[in-house]
Amino acid sequence: MPTVTETVSRLRRVVRLLNRRAQADTGAGSPTRSQQAVLAWLDERGTVTPTTLATLEQVRPQSMSQTLDGLERSALITRTAHPSDRRQVLISLTSSGRTALERGRRLRQEWLENAMTNRLSPPEQRVLAAAIPLLERIVED
């Protein structure tokens, strides 16, 4: 059996490679990965504030501002003032945003879904699926 140190070392490497591969799959013109993640949250939660999005994505509010700038420039979201507390800004998905979300989802997941189904047997797929909640627990705050 591998040592924890060895497991961690290999995990770190494979995470780096997977992450890079995912990045490369950003089709030209379609939303970036960070943008895609925001679109997905908006789809799930409806209208939310930048601070909430920053918390959900585990990034600083300043970083989220920049992601939102890009999305606004592409007209995939709108920023509107909060009706009662004017410090707050409400972020909503536009209809182009929804279209882009669905298109992006399809494009981005393709290679990984293909790799999973073509390179892993069904029992292996189950092992991988079982490991995902464990990885999620590790990255929890």
Partner DNA sequence: TATTGTTATACTCTATAACTATA
Partner DNA sequence: TATAGTTATAGAGTATAACAATA
* Nearest distance, CB of residue 108 and DNA, angstroms: 10
* Nearest distance, CB of residue 71 and a second copy, angstroms: 17
**89-93 and 77-81 beta bridge pairing:** antiparallel
75 binds, among a second copy, DNA, none (CB under 5 to 8 A by kind): none
Q: Which one-letter DSSP state was computed for residue 124?
A: H
Window contacting a second copy (CB under 8 A); options: 44-52, 75-83, 87-95, 112-120: 112-120
58: left (phi over 0), alpha (psi -120 to 50) or beta: left
Q: Looking at beta carbons only, is 75 or 120 nearer to a second copy?
A: 120
* Nearest distance, CB of residue 57 and a second copy, angstroms: 9
What span, in angstroms and rounded, lies between the C-alpha atoms of 90 and 88?
7
Backbone angles phi, psi at 78, to 5 degrees: -125, 150
Does residue 103 interact with a second copy by CB under 8 A? no
